[in-house]
Homo-oligomer: A and B are copies of this chain.
Amino acid sequence: MSSLDSSPHAVEGTGAVPGGEVAKQIPPAAVARLTIYLRALNTLLAEGVERVSSESLAEASGVSSSTLRKDLSYVGSYGTRGVGYEVQYLSRHISAALGLTHDWKVAIVGAGNLGKALARYGGFETRGFDVVAIFDADQMVVGNEVGWLRVSDVADLEAVLERTGANMVVLALPAAVAQAICDRVVAAGVHSILSFAPVMLQVPAGVNLRKVDMATELQILAYHAQRAQTPDHTA
């Protein structure tokens, strides 16, 4: 767990510094939700909606309006009191705060069903993520087309990451090989990794690893379902 904050404290309420952009840290829980607001805003934009209130954006995002307003306050003051938010304007500012102003180049390791699903998932390009490579170890799969990409041999991982300029990697491969590939990815200089492999990966400090695990999600559902089944008399 890296606690790499050196800033004393996020002192809010300072007037907007003209011309100077001081990067203030946004609480992790707020960052996760900001991505959701962003999607809701883009949906509204596609529907031609121009203004939105905290109340209705909150409802569309599944949070309380006070949570939404607090989250937005970490980004800045981009609303109009008594009116609401301009959809496009707010969307732009959240994108900027999240670092989505330039495209990120994503490489996917593993061209099984999951890797292919990710490579073809249309939602990425429209959100600033560009899938630039997909790898597999199976020689029967190397060279196949996936979307508009050709599957590279994982043996060439370092070279292809270098050549394509990938700065994010998604691991969609079996647990058994995940750590080894992860180590190579880190050694190749990629510091942002999203893993779908059902294992705890060890990474050095400074590397950002996120993990998605379907079995975990189902187990959490199971816990709640089981509780709901117990004869729970309220009073």
Contact = CB atoms under 8 A, between A and B. Distances in A.
A124 to B, nearest CB: 6
A214 B194 CA distance: 9
B219 A23 contact: no
A168 B218 contact: yes
Contacts of A49: none
Interface stretch (A82-90, A97-105, A134-142): A97-105
Nearest to A43: B199
A118 interface: yes
B13 A60 contact: no
A106 B225 CA distance: 13
Contacts of A48: none
Contact of A35 (B32, B97, B219): B219
A112 to B, nearest CB: 7
Contacts of A31: 220, 223
B212 A127 contact: no
Copies of this polypeptide in the complex: 2
A194 B2 CA distance: 9
B208 A1 contact: yes
Nearest to A128: B222
Given A117-B114, A192-B221, A210-B221, A99 B215 contact: no
A39 interface: yes
A8 B62 contact: yes
B232 A17 contact: yes
Which of A25, A117, A214 has the largest number of chain B CB atoms within 10 A? A214
Contact of A212 (B15, B36, B61, B212): B212
A12 interface: yes
Contacts of A220: 6-7, 31-32, 35, 210
Contact of A198 (B2, B33, B39): B39
**Which A-B residue pairs are the 5 nearest by beta carbons?**
A99-B226, A113-B117, A114-B117, A192-B221, A35-B219
24 contacts: A1-B64, A3-B28, A6-B232, A7-B224, A12-B228, A13-B228, A13-B234, A31-B220, A39-B198, A40-B200, A62-B200, A98-B223, A99-B227, A104-B218, A104-B225, A113-B120, A124-B214, A124-B218, A127-B218, A127-B219, A168-B218, A193-B221, A208-B221, A210-B220
